[in-house]
Amino acid sequence: MKIKKGVQKEYFEIVADGRKRFEIRLGNMRCKPGDILVLEEKIGEKKKTGRKIDCEVLYKFNTKDVEKYYSKKDIEKYGLLVLAIRRSYN
């Protein structure tokens, strides 16, 4: 399935150059690994630039699931970090 979403220019640029390899979205959409997330560059709320990047969804995690491991109080106090990671080879 293809899912189209707008993304601000500053974030589009770092996805395009390979530095950002994650996306944080409101959990109000359905997607699964293998789906294609089409990121459409935009400036402001509505103005699209016409640039697009197709990104394959590799993994999906809903932050609501962390309530199994951390209390709502701690989540509210500290927030959640989303980290882009890769295996380190020495």
Query: Number of folded domains in the chain?
Result: 1
Residue 85 belongs to some domain of the structure: no
What does pLDDT average to over the chain?
92
**Residues 35/3, Cβ–Cβ less than 8 Å:** yes
Residue 27 belongs to some domain of the structure: yes
> How sure is the predictor about 89, in pLDDT bands with cuts at 50, 70 and 90?
confident
Residue 17 belongs to some domain of the structure: yes
Residue 89 belongs to some domain of the structure: no
CATH number of the domain at 30, please.
2.30.130.30
Q: How far is CA 24 from the centre of its chain?
A: 3
Residue 86 in this model has a pLDDT that exceeds 80: no
pTM: 0.82
Q: pLDDT tens, 53-67?
A: 999 999 999 988 999
Which helix H or strand E contains 13, and what residues bound it?
Answer: helix 9-16
Range of the domain at 7: 2-61
